[in-house]
Amino acid sequence: FRDDEDTFKILIATDIHLGYLEKDPVRGNDTFITFDEILDHAQKNEVDFVLLGGDLFHENKPSRKTVHSCLETLRKYCMGDRPVEFEILSDQAVNFHYSKFPWVNYQDKNLNISIPVFSIHGNHDDPTGADALCALDILSCAGLLNHFGRSTSVEKIDISPILLRKGRTKIALYGLGAIPDERLYRMFVNKQVTMLRPKEDEDSWFNLFVIHQNRSKHGATNYIPEQFLDDFIDLVVWGHEHECKIVPSQNEQQCFYVCQPGSSVVTSLSPGEAVKKHIGLLHVKEKKMKMHKIALQTVRTFHMEDIVLADHPDLFNPDNPKVTQAIQAFCMEKVELMLDDAERARLGNPHQPEKPLIRLRVDYTGGFEPFSVHRFSQKYMDRVANPKDIIHFFRHREQKEKNENDLNFGKLVTRPAEGMTLRVEDLVKQYFQTAEKKVQLSLLTERGMGEAVQEFVDKEEKDAIEELVKFQLEKTQRFLKERRTDAEEEKIDEEVRKFRESRKKNTEEEDEEVREAMTRARAHRSEDADAVLVAASSDEELMDTGMKGTGDSDDGFPATVSRGRGRARGRARGARGQNPTARGSSQRGRG
């Protein structure tokens, strides 16, 4: 492909995870350095725009340092006088309908953008809270990024493309931010997801779709099969999966190509993360495309090996009293070899971090005992970036007949493979499905409880579980009143059980219940925040009143002000400066 007035050049990256391990003294700046390299490639290659596939941030509420570093890098590379050579043909009020500034940033007369950045949100930086905002919305409001692919409806999704044109080449850019996999799977099955197509010359457009979901199967419905996507798509950029498969592979059934850029930072010490990290430079001319992969030079090298002790009977005998020392010496040899490989890989690349990531997985099945990982790690504190988890001991569970009365924790919670994400929601569901009858849920459903716990853990919605319990309790009480159930315990229990089973079957109604409860929880949190502000402001007024009298005291001493202590989430400010006599008195009020 030659660079001409008809060719789009697009830099593609996903899962940058800014802020991952930012407090780690060794790895804290890895994500920021690599993000700088990614945008540096965009500038040097004079791309038309950058396309990100979600999880720009690692945390839902990134720290000030992380947001500041992101803004700094975007401003450094994406603002300038170089003209943007493509135009937007679609209705931007539809593409960016949730924004207060519903137009692409480079068309804003107050901004000077040289490289537009388009991004969907991922599962790590998705919209939350009463206002459903995410970190990308801050960047979008600042005019440094174009957040698209956001769906507010949970009943029907219409994906309207951003229509781009450069010379004779036209791109329809579709995006869908992260949605819980089970919900999106069900919506695809129920034909509730529609990809809208341009009215004019629909076959002349290059259709590019960006998605952030599980691609590999993690459960019956905990992923999105590729055949769910429309066959008119030309290329799918698949975010969320961290293994780099940047070269587009064709789906034989749907005939489109799938590009999986993978993450730009190692966030789990698993085999998929050990694959070399790349970003993609996509050329599109009319209906043809070409992907050029660019290796990232600033990514910390990651080396991984597996050892099965039972495969070395000539070296290790479990009955030998000194077998543990022999295993430790063998592991040290392996780690030294991996460090040598890492040193060779660094030759000629001064941008690569000095300390590598090392992982040695040891299967000690067969009567062996693990040695002290902590003591082992002390030897590599100055040579490895992850000394505390170099060694990972694991053992294949042996199938044994067990007493029926014994509680089998192995069955209670199925352990995922290393690197696979197991959600809290799934754990809750598994627990109640396998728990004894006396600890089973009788009023709530496992699904609803799982969703509430997930919100509590991921989004810090402190009132999520309480509000769900209240909501479902109120609903059950209304149901019993309508049925005019006799005040006998057995009949009430039976009616509650029937009502619960009917709710479990109606998944859409149950989803609506969870959404209503979460809305209540967010509203409750907003009220609490307002109460804190009111308490703080009234406290400041008290403080101002007290300060006015400090200069007029006849004795030359500051006038003492009696202070109240607020009870709305936090203490009222200024308590530290009280006069000792006032502090010891009983003049405390409840705010």
Active-site entry in 124, 212, 242, 283: 124
**What pLDDT, on the 0 to 100 scale, is given for residue 523?**
67
Structure tokens at 576: 């530290």
Which amino acid is residue 225, in one-letter code?
P
Nearest 5°: the CA angle 522, 523, 528 is: 95
pTM score, whole prediction: 0.72
**Least confident among 88-102, 306-320, 546-560:** 546-560
CA distance 563 to 576: 11
Opening angle at CA 81, ends 76 and 85, nearest 5: 110
Of 260, 155, 165, give the one whose Cα is nearest residue 214. Answer: 260
Right CATH number for 7-295 from 3.60.21.10, 3.30.390.10, 1.20.120.790, 3.30.365.10? 3.60.21.10
Among 139-143, 393-397, 527-531, the range scoring the smallest mean pLDDT is 527-531
Domain assignments of the chain as residue spans, ordered by start: 7-295, 302-394, 438-529
Is the Cα torsion angle 523, 529, 533, 535 positive or negative in sign?
positive
Question: Active site includes 124?
Answer: yes
- Residue range 584-589: average pLDDT? 42
At 462, is the pLDDT very low, low, confident or very high (cuts 50, 70, 90)? Answer: low
Spatial separation of the C-alpha atoms in residues 420 and 149, rounded to whole Å: 26
pLDDT, averaged across the chain: 83
pLDDT tens by residue, 38-85: 999 999 999 999 999 999 999 999 999 999 999 999 999 999 999 999
The DSSP H or E segment spanning 145 is none
Q: Do 443 and 500 touch, CB atoms closer than 8 A? A: yes
What would the CATH number be for the domain defined by 302-394? 3.30.110.110
3-state secondary structure of 170: strand
